[in-house]
Structure 1
C-alpha cells in the first residue's frame, strides 16, 4: 500500500532499506560497447539488453544524424496531429514486412505499447488471461482494461484451458511474454495459439527479448516457433533492446492494428517519437537481417557461459537466450555478490522482489554480441573467485 500520510515516506524508505529493497541509480558517463565508465570507474557490463551490440552501430548513428538534420530532434506533436513523419511511415511498413504481418504501428516504448494495447482490445464484459510471470507493463495493461482478469500459473496450459473453457466473456484475450525477461525461457506459443483457436481467443505476444535475436534473420519468437502468420496473433516487440534504438511496435491484421491506433490512449495522446529514432530503427532492421554473425556469436557466448557455470554454488536457470539468471535466493546475499563483482570491475545487476518472487533474488546476466570470449571468461573467473 502507498504510504499515508506523506510524512510516512521516510519510515517506508527505512523499511525498504531494512529489507534490502531500495533501488539506486548509477551514472554511466561513457561507453564503448559493454565497457562503461560508471560513477567514475570502468566496468565491464553484463547489465544491458543490447543483445546484438547495435546501440553504437555506425550505420544507426549516421541514420539518426541525417534524419535529425532534416526533421529536427523532436516530433512536436502526437502522431495523429502532425508528429507522424516520413521515417515513421516507412518504418511501419518495414516492420510489418520484417515480421510477416499486414500492418504495424510504432509506439514510443514497450511500456506505452502494452499499457495502451490491452485496454484497446478488451474492456468490461470481456476477459483477459495473463501468465503469472508477465512483465509489469502487461500486468498494468490488464489492470487498466477493466476486463475480467485471470492469472494462470507460469506456462500452465492446463489451467489456462480450464479458464478459457469456463469463461462466458464476449471477447477473450490471452497475453504473454514470448521470452520471460527475468527467467530467459520461452512461452509455448504454438500450444497457446492452439488453445486460442479452440476457444475463440486472441493471442497477444510481447517479444521484447526475442525480437532481433530469435527466428530466421532475427524476425522474432513467433517466427522461431512457426506461428508468425496466424491471424489470431497480435505481435508486439520493443526496439530498445536487440534493435539498439528506442520505441516499440505492434503488428497484426490490418483492421486490428487500425483499431488499436483509434483506441490506444498511449498512442493517441503521446507526442510521437523523434523521426531520428525511427530512422535509426530502419537502419537497425537492415543490420539485424544482414549481420547474422551477431546472433551466432552471442549464441556461442551463451554456451560458453553456461558450461563455465558448472560447479558454482548458485543455481543457473535453464535458458538458451541472452538472459542468464543466476539464482542466489535472499536479497542481501544477492546485493553482496553484485558488489563483489563490481569490486572486480564487473556489473551484473541484482534483481529482487517485487520484480521476481520472494526468495528468488538473482543476478540477471545479459550477454551481447559486443562481448568477447575474454569478457565472458573474466566474469566466470570472478564468480569462481567470489565463490
Structure 2
C-alpha cells in the first residue's frame, strides 16, 4: 500500500493530502487543487452555495447541518444521501467536494478530517479513529472516541473536540437558546460556527450590568475568570479614576475585587480576563490602569483592554442569564469572539482595532 503524506500549515490546518492541496479563508476550506484541476467552494457565512472548477459550476442544495443533498447544473441534478453518521457508498460517485455536514471526506480513506485535520471521523465505525485531547474529564466528554454525544441527527462536531446543538434548534422562535449562543459581548464579531470558539461556563450576574463566568484551559489545569462590564473614568479632584459601571453606580477596582472574593469566584481562578472598555488605560489619579489595580488586589494576572471594546447590548446578556435557570445546558455560553491571540483575528480576516489586550501582574 502506498504511503500517503498529510501536510499542515502553521495554523494546524490540513493543506495537502494524496497530492491535493487545500486553501482556506479563515477556518473554511475554499479551494482544492490536484495537478491542473481546481475546485472552489462558494460560501456565505454558514451557508454552502455552489462550487466551481474547470468542468463548470454546480449549485448546491444543503440541509441545516450543511450536508450537501443535491448538486444542480444545466445538464443534470444529482441527489446525495448519507447514513445517519455520514457514510456514503463509494460506488454512488462523488458529486461535490463537500459532503456530510459540509465537511470534505478524505480522498484516500473516506473519513472526515474534522477540525481541518485535527481528528479523523470514521462514518462506517461511527466514531473517531483517535482519542480527544479534551476527554475524558473535559469538554470532550467521557467517551474519548464518541461522535456528537451519540446524536448525529441533532448535533454537530466540526472541531473534532466537542459537539454542539444544531442552529435550527437554537433559532426557534422565542427561544432564549439563541441568545445563549451568540449574544455574549464581543471583542470582534466572528462566525458562529467558528471552530476556535471557547465556551464560557457558569455564566451569571455579579451585579446589575456586570457579568462573570469562567473558561477552562485546554489542559484543564486552571480556570480563567471572565468579567464583562462597562468601563470608563470619572473625575475626582480634577483627575481620572478608572471604574466599572453598574446601574448608574461606579465601582473601583478594589470594590470589584472584594465582590469577586466575597462571592467565592476566585477560589479556582488563576487569572482574570477583564472585558471592559479602557480597563488597560492608565488613570491619572492612581497612575495605574483598572486592570493593574485589580491584579494588585487579587494577586493574580489580569488582562485588560486599551480603548473601547466592541460589545452588544447588555440586555441580551440578561436574557442569557435568565435562560440558565430553566435550561442547565444554556450555562455553556458560547463566547464566539473572546479570542486569546491576535493571530485568531488575522485568520478570520478581521480588524484588530477592538482587540488591544494588556496583561498585568501583581506588584
TM-score if structure 1 supplies the norm length?
0.27
Structure number with larger C-alpha Rg: 2
TM-score if structure 2 supplies the norm length?
0.29
Higher RCO, 1 vs 2 (CA within 8 Å, ≥6 residues apart) = 1
Which structure carries more helix by proportion? 1
Which structure carries more strand by proportion? 2
